[in-house]
């Protein structure tokens, strides 16, 4: 459903991604793994149009996104939870969620998010800056879900979160991946591999390995290729 073809991108004159190709089906989980600085965040940013690709193409349901800006890409169904969660600390949980609705109706989507993360339901009127770290991650994911994405891309959604909450987020994302495509950049290997039916390892801006969790686990170079 989402196809990335030979994507290269970088920052100014420094190139970070060198011809990445990948396909993401309509449902199921994909884990993107790789060392710090490998280019995982840059890849997601390029798919979102936060960064111009220097070459290559990104196709959603066969249509090129090259001329679409980030807002249009979200509107077309790509949800994104950035590594640096941009929650508005001074707004309530409900207000932050509504900002993710992209002008679509709000209450039905809020109900879906509350069903997804019941903890947020008790906190809709709370100022977001006073949420716990785990609750903030749930809000960031919930806000991306408000746009009713067809594919949800998450950049390290469990970074710095207590392991009980990691399990909770992992369970929910696993459930979600039966309905839509979920692409997750994740340091917690067990959670990522449990959720994923496909794994993509990025090394120095290139895909160095791909396959099912079993296939990559059995590759003797796997652990080395993701070690920090
Ligand atoms: N805004 C920027 N300007 C210049 N270089 C950048 C910028 N953002 C990232 N880089 C560089 O691009 C490379 C890839 O960074 P990126 O954030 O994509 O890595 P990552 O795989 O997400 O790493 P991590 O696991 O630490 O999040 C790094 O060398 C980084 O220093
Ligand atoms: Mg990153």
Condensed to tens digits (0 to 9), the pLDDT of residues 161-198 reads 888 899 999 999 999 999 999 999 998 898 899 899 99
Instruction: Identify which of 35, 40, 188 to mutate to test ligand 1's pocket (most ligand atoms within 8 A of the CB).
Output: 40
* Nearest CA residue ID for atom 17, ligand 1: 41
- Of all residues in the chain, what percent carry a pLDDT higher than 90? 85
Calculate how far, in angstroms, residue 40's C-alpha sits from the geometric centre of ligand 2: 5
**Mean pLDDT of the chain, nearest integer:** 94
Maximum CA extent, the chain: 50
User: Is the confidence at residue 86, as pLDDT, over 80?
Assistant: no
Calculate how far, in angstroms, residue 42's C-alpha sits from the geometric centre of ligand 2: 7
* Nearest CA residue ID for atom 30, ligand 1: 37
Calculate how far, in angstroms, residue 19's C-alpha sits from the geometric centre of ligand 1: 16
Q: Is the CB of 136 under 6 A from ligand 1?
A: no
User: Is the confidence at residue 85, as pLDDT, over 80?
Assistant: no
Calculate how far, in angstroms, residue 41's C-alpha sits from the geometric centre of ligand 1: 7
Q: Is the CB of 45 under 6 A from ligand 1?
A: no
* Nearest CA residue ID for atom 19, ligand 1: 37
Q: H or E segment at 154?
A: strand 151-155
Residue burial 127-143, b: 16+ Cβ < 10 Å; e: rest: ebeebeebbbbbbbbbb
User: Is the confidence at residue 228, as pLDDT, over 70?
Assistant: no
pLDDT at 5: 98
pLDDT at 224: 85
Instruction: Enter the pTM of the model.
Output: 0.95
Task: Compute the distance between CA of residue 208 and CA of residue 221 in angstroms, rounded to an integer.
Answer: 10
């Amino acid at each position: 459903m989402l196809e990335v073809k030979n994507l290269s991108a970088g920052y100014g004159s420094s190139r970070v991604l060198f011809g990445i190709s990948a396909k993401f089906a309509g449902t199921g989980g994909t884990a993107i793994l790789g060392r710090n600085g490998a280019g995982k965040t840059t890849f997601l940013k390029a798919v979102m149009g936060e960064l111009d690709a220097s070459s290559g193409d990104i196709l959603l349901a066969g249509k090129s996104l090259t001329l679409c800006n980030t807002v249009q890409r979200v509107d077309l169904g790509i949800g994104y939870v950035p590594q640096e969660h941009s929650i508005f600390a001074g707004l309530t949980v409900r207000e932050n969620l509504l900002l993710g609705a992209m002008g679509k109706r709000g209450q039905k989507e809020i109900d879906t998010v509350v069903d997804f993360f019941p903890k947020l339901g008790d906190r809709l009127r709370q100022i977001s800056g006073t949420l716990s770290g785990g609750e903030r991650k749930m809000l960031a994911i919930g806000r991306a879900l408000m746009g009713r994405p067809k594919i949800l891309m998450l950049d390290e959604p469990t970074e710095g979160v207590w392991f009980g909450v990691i399990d909770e987020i992992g369970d929910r994302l696993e459930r979600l991946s039966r309905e839509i495509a979920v692409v997750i950049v994740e340091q917690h290997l067990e959670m990522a591999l449990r959720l994923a039916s496909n794994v993509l390892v990025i090394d120095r801006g290139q895909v160095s390995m791909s396959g099912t969790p079993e296939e990559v686990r059995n590759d003797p170079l796997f652990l080395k290729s993701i070690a920090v």
